[in-house]
Structure 1
């Protein structure tokens, strides 16, 4: 599991991005559960995630950040990254971001894709 914490801030909201290899929907859910064992991530407003699984296809969870999981999935599909979950975490800062929230999700995923250790 790789975690990049504090990568972005916007109007008080703070972002982190995490990821790692997973082979099934259950493994993806366990990944998020393990991430949330860290109290900081458990208290986050949103832990939005997506993964494209071989044989199962795309799986996502918006965790209340409507549409954000689809943004992650599209980026993973474009990067042709399979069996690798990406989780974008947001701590709400008190001001609504509107459409900018999708740009922040994209920036977070880009950061992960550019900086992950296991780049193939």
Structure 2
């Protein structure tokens, strides 16, 4: 897949700093503007600053979890943000329930980079 020629803004939220950093760096390599966050609170602050069009969010984080963060982002951006849940859970019922509740897409960890590119291409209005 060729590198993106536009600058979709993606916020990557994972309480494991290395995961957030690596995914953000990978997305930058594809041409996206990507910003890592390691907590829900930090993600909300970055969202105010950068107005992301897409958010990759870990569902299981201490403090504000991904479900609550997703709800707050939906309210803040009035639904004009694509939410992609990342979870290590493989329980299909839970995955679909969360997807219907707050997220546009759900991907399981470890993140398959080809799957991530496909999901982002759907989320990207210019892609």
TM-score w.r.t. the length of structure 2 is 0.33
Q: Which has the higher helix share?
A: 2
